[in-house]
A = this chain, B = another copy of it.
């Protein structure tokens, strides 16, 4: 596949794909004219990259864990890093759930000001930050 097709299928810009290559997140073969050529698996890899970014993993970490996470190949040297990041993702999930609950509460109150506001507590017991 050429770059434009990958970009469209993965829902990202062409620029982003060139950036990923530069960052060594997504290698590309080159045709005789210098054009990039990608295997079909590239689309899924881009989607994974996007999810990792969306999960808030810093680019350095993405670069380190990507080969391992993408292929499923275990790498004992990365275990600690993987566990740490899993922990952070978990915390973020809790944050997001709290925000969602908060939004739900306000939405419910907006739709029906007499709604049962007691089901959701005011503040969902924040945990210590970094």
Of the candidates B55, B111, B123, B129, which one forms a contact with A99 in the assembled complex, judged by CB atoms under 8 Å apart? B55
How many A residues are at the interface, by size bracket?
35 or more
Q: Are B72 and A105 in contact (CB under 8 A)?
A: yes
Of the candidates B69, B100, B117, which one forms a contact with A86 in the assembled complex, judged by CB atoms under 8 Å apart? B100
User: What is the bound-complex CA distance between A72 and B121, given in angstroms?
Assistant: 11
A107 within 8 A of B: yes
Q: Are B44 and A96 in contact (CB under 8 A)?
A: no
Chain A interface secondary structure, helix, strand, loop or mixed?
A: helix
Q: How far is the CB of A117 from chain B (nearest CB, A)?
A: 7
Q: Produce 1/0 per residue, A85-111, CB < 8 A to B.
A: 110011011011111101111110111
Q: Are A69 and B102 in contact (CB under 8 A)?
A: yes
Taking CB atoms, residues of chain B closer than 8 Å to A107 are 79, 82-83, 86
Binds B, one of A23-31, A32-40, A45-53: A45-53
Taking CB atoms, residues of chain B closer than 8 Å to A130 are 11
A64 within 8 A of B: no
User: What is the bound-complex CA distance between A47 and B124, given in angstroms?
Assistant: 11
A68 within 8 A of B: yes
User: What is the bound-complex CA distance between A78 and B106, given in angstroms?
Assistant: 10
